[in-house]
Amino acid sequence: MAEPLLSVRDLRAWYGESHILHGMDFEVRQGEVVTLLGRNGAGKTTTLKAVMGMVGRRSGSVTFEDTETIRLPSNRIARLGIAYCPEERGIFSSLTVAENLVLPPVIRPGGLSLAEVHELFPRLAERADSQGTKLSGGEQQMLAIARILRTGATLLLLDEPTEGLAPVIVQHIGAILGQLKERGFTILLVEQNFHFAVGVADRHYVVEHGRVVDCVLNSQASTTALQGYLGV
Amino acid sequence: MMTFLGIPIQALMGQLLLGLINGASYAVLSLGLALIFGLLNIINFAHGAQYMMGAYIAWMLLAYAGVNYWLALVVAPLAVGLIGVVIERLLLRRLYKLDNLYGLLLTFGLALIIEGLFRQAYGISGQAYQAPRLLQGGINLGFMFLPLYRGWVVLVALAACLAVWAAIEKTRLGALLRAATENPALVRAFGVNVPLLITGTYGFGAALAGFAGVLAAPLYSVNPLMGSNIIIIVFAVVVIGGMGSILGSVLTGFGLGLIEGLTKVFYPEASATVIFVIMAIVLLIKPAGLFGRNA
Ligand SMILES: Nc1ncnc2c1ncn2[C@@H]1O[C@H](COP(=O)(O)OP(=O)(O)O)[C@@H](O)[C@H]1O
Ligand SMILES: [Mg+2]
């Protein structure tokens, strides 16, 4: 089996005094789509932030392409080739759609060109001059994904990209993730939409109370067991 | 003699020009304050001291090294900017995790220390600084006499404000700055060295204040207290304009300078307080300021 691209060992994280992650262990291999599933408040978002170096304090080990990142600031981690799409989307209201799209710096070659991004998301070309936050929720989500495809990052951290979106848009995003996987992107996906997760992922980690409690191959995903974890 | 509402045109124009000149300083200073506040969330009370240092460095360059005005217009702001960079790296950086009241207190203390040092060294009577030969004298515009240096100050301050505005609104660096003002953690997670951006912004804001100080040096005497005199008014300007908007702070600066000038003509008794009266009214009606985003 291939070497893991991202390897997380005994990851602990704190917001101020509150201890949120209690030793997360998981890995993502080159070219995989892996999900973190779990109930609200389980620590999925915090895990992505901790991988990105965006929490107050963290300990343990997070290696990316054999580089230990636990002591690096988030701008250095990003430059290793990890890109982050936050749960709240993080579209900048003082920037146009076009400015939002090219804001993340290109960190290495191999990312999508602007033309390719526009091909995937034609709406963003049409709305290029609008204020970023004037887009609909679905369009903002597209923009949040689109802008991290240009940078040359090979690992994408996507936090609930389907949250609050209409079923056709969720489908569209599913199709896009499929295309990104084909292009060789590796994706760590946080989801609460169980059906969506099963449709796109290779493996699932189940998160409870800041720990990984189970790992399930998609091919062996027993719907009922996973649904039990999610409480749906 | 031509009059307007019983006031001689000459006097009216003269006061309007003075108003524009004051407005130019207000605009450049409030622009720097707005930039710094946007990204650092710190109300930079040292801004007046940085303005004063700009003027003093220009004066010292001339007095001790024979460096002329034109060169000082570049060197003095750079020096003040560099001092700003040191202040940010050594002191302000330690406070970002705390309430921004601490930043205000620190910069206020710094302003007092810097002012005290210059008072100690140069007294409070002030030093004269000649306008450069090229800009001495003036031209008769028919309805008024325009001292060249004053015209130059207004034009150059306006040009500086527009250049800064364009850099922020139209360039990639400006987009990074706007984005980091909204959400620094996310911009950093995209691989941008936000701490460096913050240092640069503070240095640049300080340099702008120093630049305004050099422009002001030939207008008034160079004086350790010149900064604290003007900065109180500039804070009022910023409150009126609202912290949120770059263009707003520039427009407000020039506009209030003019209003102040007009008040000197029509009701001189109120000219020292008119800006604060406007501030009080704006605070009552639109607390976020004329151009500010509502919190
Ligand atoms: N900024 C924060 N400060 C303190 N606690 C937080 C913060 N963000 C999240 N938490 C807490 O951390 C826990 C995990 O949150 P989160 O990672 O957002 O969960 P999930 O994404 O799985 O829904 C929750 O109990 C939440 O209340
Ligand atoms: Mg979450």
Which pLDDT belongs to residue A1? 53
Give the least confident one: A182-191, B60-69, B143-152.
B143-152
Dump pLDDT digits (tens) for A66-114. Answer: 999 999 999 999 999 999 999 999 999 999 999 999 999 999 999 999 9
Average confidence score pLDDT of chain B: 91
- What count of Cα atoms within 13 Å lies in the side-chain half-sphere of residue A41? 2
Q: How far is CA A152 from the centre of its chain?
A: 15
DSSP lists the bridge partners of residue B127 as: B222
B175 touches chain A (CB under 8 A): yes
Dump pLDDT digits (tens) for B166-214. Answer: 999 999 999 999 999 999 999 999 999 999 999 999 999 999 999 999 9
- Give CA–CA dist A170/A148, Å, rounded: 19
Nearest ligand for residue A160 CA: 2
B199 touches chain A (CB under 8 A): no
B89 touches chain A (CB under 8 A): no
ipTM > 0.90 for the complex:
yes
| DSSP 8-state secondary structure symbol assigned to residue A17 | T
pLDDT-derived band of residue B246, with 50, 70 and 90 as boundaries? Answer: confident
B286-295 average pLDDT score: 76
**Residue B294 reports pLDDT greater than 60:** no
Residue that wins the pLDDT comparison between B268 and A207: A207
Q: Which two tokens stand for residue A175?
A: 């199709």
Which pLDDT belongs to residue B38? 87
**Residue B295 reports pLDDT greater than 60:** no
- Residues from chain A that touch B176, judged by Cβ atoms under 8 A, are 103
**Residue B45 reports pLDDT greater than 50:** yes
Which pLDDT belongs to residue A148? 97
CATH number at residue A105: 3.40.50.300
Residue A187 domain boundaries: 4-230
- Give CA–CA dist A188/A79, Å, rounded: 17
B52-61 average pLDDT score: 97
B189/A78 Cβ within 8 A: yes
- Taken in order A48, A53, A54, A56, the sign of the CA dihedral is positive
What residues have CB less than 8 Å from B281, skipping those under 6 apart? none
Nearest by CB: B175 against A77, A99, A107 = A99
Domain count, chain A: 1
Q: Mutation target for B interface from A94, A145, A159: give the one with most B CBs within 10 A.
A: A94
CA angle A136, A142, A145 (to 5 degrees): 140
A129-146 average pLDDT score: 95
Nearest by CB: A90 against B178, B183, B191 = B183
Please tell me if the CB atom of residue A45 comes closer than 6 angstroms to any atom of ligand 1. yes
pLDDT-derived band of residue A218, with 50, 70 and 90 as boundaries? Answer: confident
DSSP-derived secondary structure for B194-235: HHHHHHHHHHHHHHHHHHHHHHHTTTS-B-TTHHHHHHHHHH
Distance from CA of A225 to the nearest CA of B (A): 35
Please tell me if the CB atom of residue A15 comes closer than 6 angstroms to any atom of ligand 1. yes
B190/A78 Cβ within 8 A: yes
Which pLDDT belongs to residue B8? 78
pLDDT-derived band of residue B245, with 50, 70 and 90 as boundaries? Answer: confident
Which pLDDT belongs to residue A224? 64
Chain A residue closest in CA terms to B190 = A104
Please tell me if the CB atom of residue A38 comes closer than 6 angstroms to any atom of ligand 1. yes
